[in-house]
Amino acid sequence: MKIVKISAQRPDPRIIEEAAQVIRRGGLVIFPTETVYGLGADAFNAKAVAKIFKAKGRPEGKPLIVHVAKKSAISTLARAIPSVARKLVQKFWPGPLTLVFHANTKLPKLVTGISNKSSILGTMELLSQAGGKRRTVAIRMPDHPVALAFIRAAGPIAAPSANFSGDPPPRSIREIPKALLEKVDLVLDAGRTPVGAPSTIVDLVGKDPVVLRKGAISKTVLMRAIVR
């Protein structure tokens, strides 16, 4: 494990490249976003993603947010993108809004969730039979120069908060337990994260948008953007 200080506003490209190399090798990087610190891996590398769950003690079946550096990346991660998505992305990205779509089938299972809509079918058996069709992916574009530079260099990054499962998410490296820091390859320390509250999560899989998690963007502000 290595901790490197990096400027939040003008990240050193050499440090960014080092972090991207760790990701390409299937390693783990702790990096800042505007909300909290994330513990990231290559979103398309199933082995690397599995390491995140092991490090955090995160239960399988709790999917990860995929972080992107450009809006167009949605089309490589999701399918069936509803028109309301364009409105929300336009208004809130980069920023603390996570959107849930039907997933591209190339994504590792651990990254994806399963749409609630499938529960209409009832039995678990039916669920697993048709499971491939109902996988979902949560995507967000963080508003932080370090996160954006890192993701631009490394590609889409699957990342939960950099804490042990169940603990509060960290706004600074100081708040991350040593035992967790030791489990990753590289830590990018850009000081305290500006927002602190987690991203608001909105499910766009069903007929109407549904707020799955309250966060930095209020429901009122969100709904105003949706009806517009």
Q: Which of 15, 65, 69, 195 binds ligand AMP (CB under 6 A)?
A: 65
For residue 63, what are its two tokens? 């999917």
Phi and psi at 45, nearest 5°, equal: -105, 105
Is residue 35 a contact residue for Mg ion (CB under 5 A)? no
How far apart, in whole angstroms, are the C-alpha atoms of residue 171 and residue 193?
Answer: 5
How far apart, in whole angstroms, are the C-alpha atoms of residue 50 and residue 111?
Answer: 9
Mark the segment that binds Mg ion (CB under 5 A) among 66-74, 78-86, 156-164, 216-224. Answer: 156-164
CB 135 within 8 A of CB 107: yes
CA dihedral 183, 188, 191, 196 (to 10 degrees): -70
Stretch 107-146: interaction string toward ligand AMP, x if CB under 6 A: -----xx----------------------xxx--------
In the list Mg ion, ligand AMP, none, the entry touching 68 (Cβ below 5 to 8 angstroms by class) is none
Question: How many residues bind to ligand AMP according to rule CB under 6 A?
Answer: 16
Closest approach, Cβ 1 to ligand AMP, in A, equals 21
In the list Mg ion, ligand AMP, none, the entry touching 112 (Cβ below 5 to 8 angstroms by class) is ligand AMP
Phi and psi at 211, nearest 5°, equal: -80, 115
- Rg, Å, the chain Cα set: 17
Give the interface with Mg ion as residue ranges (CB under 5 A).
161
Give the interface with ligand AMP as residue ranges (CB under 6 A).
62-65, 100, 112-113, 136-138, 160-161, 169, 201, 212-213
